[in-house]
């Protein structure tokens, strides 16, 4: 007569399988949020360039010369997609990129104008929160936009020299390079977000 497996053994196997499944799901979730590491990695690039004696690669002039080119890409993509889809979310993001673009252009009034633009966009986002969130969904686009926002925030914290209070190595010497390089990383991330938004738009069903 064949004996059946012990209940305790089966329970142990089930518990192990559940634990492995939970661990795998947790790792997958963490992997989806790896773009949050891009800002700190950009800071690391500055330290490596400084150590190697190639500060010119991450200089303010280098970063500012790249900024307008980089920001023009998501600006065009978001506004073009806004026109094609009549999408409020794409229009919102396009105008946000336009505000950043004007700030990087450094013409008269942009230093204070960026805060006015962000305030107006913030009011828009609050008033139309439900519509904008529905358009974003909960996929890759939302993740990239959140990570991009956090990277821009990191650059502003560096600009305000917050990290001098936590003993960041050579903060006094490198804070300008750190700010500009992290901001450039955020511009690159905005391009990825614009591409993700474009692809998400393609997958949206159309009404007959």
DSSP codes, 112-146: HHHHHHHHHHHHHHHHTHHHHHHHHTTSHHHHHHH
Q: Smallest Cα–Cα separation from 141: which of 204, 95, 99, 98?
A: 204
Lowest mean pLDDT among 52-56, 102-106, 145-149, 178-182: 102-106
Q: What is the DSSP letter of 2?
A: P
* 14-32 pLDDT per residue, tens: 566 565 555 555 555 666 7
CB atoms within 10 A of CB 194: 27
Residue spans of the domains in the chain: they are: 1-32, 34-203
How sure is the predictor about 71, in pLDDT bands with cuts at 50, 70 and 90?
very high
The overall average pLDDT reported for the chain is: 86
Q: Per-residue pLDDT averaged across 160-177, rounded?
A: 95
The whole-number pLDDT of residue 91 equals 96
Q: Which tokens hold the place of 202?
A: 């393609």
Q: How far apart are CA 208 and CA 200, in angstroms?
A: 19
Lowest mean pLDDT among 5-19, 102-116, 148-162, 172-186: 5-19
């Amino acid at each position: 007569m064949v004996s059946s497996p012990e209940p305790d053994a089966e329970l142990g196997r089930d518990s192990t399988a559940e634990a492995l499944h939970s661990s795998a799901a947790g790792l997958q979730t963490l992997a989806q949020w790896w773009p949050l590491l891009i800002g700190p990695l950009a800071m690391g690039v500055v330290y490596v360039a400084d150590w190697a004696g190639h500060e010119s690669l991450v200089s303010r002039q280098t970063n500012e010369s790249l900024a307008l080119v980089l920001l023009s890409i998501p600006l065009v993509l978001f506004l073009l997609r806004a026109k094609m889809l009549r999408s409020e979310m794409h229009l919102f993001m396009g105008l946000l990129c336009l505000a950043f673009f004007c700030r990087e252009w450094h013409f008269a009034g942009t230093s204070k104008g960026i805060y006015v633009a962000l305030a107006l966009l913030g009011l828009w986002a609050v008033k139309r929160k439900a519509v904008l969130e529905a358009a974003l969904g909960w996929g890759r686009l939302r993740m990239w936009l959140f990570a991009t926002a956090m990277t821009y925030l990191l650059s502003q914290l560096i600009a305000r020299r917050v990290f001098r209070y936590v003993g960041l190595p050579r903060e006094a010497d490198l804070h300008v390079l750190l700010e500009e390089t992290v901001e450039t990383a955020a511009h690159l991330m905005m391009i990825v977000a614009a591409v993700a938004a474009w692809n998400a738009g393609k997958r949206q069903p159309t009404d007959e």
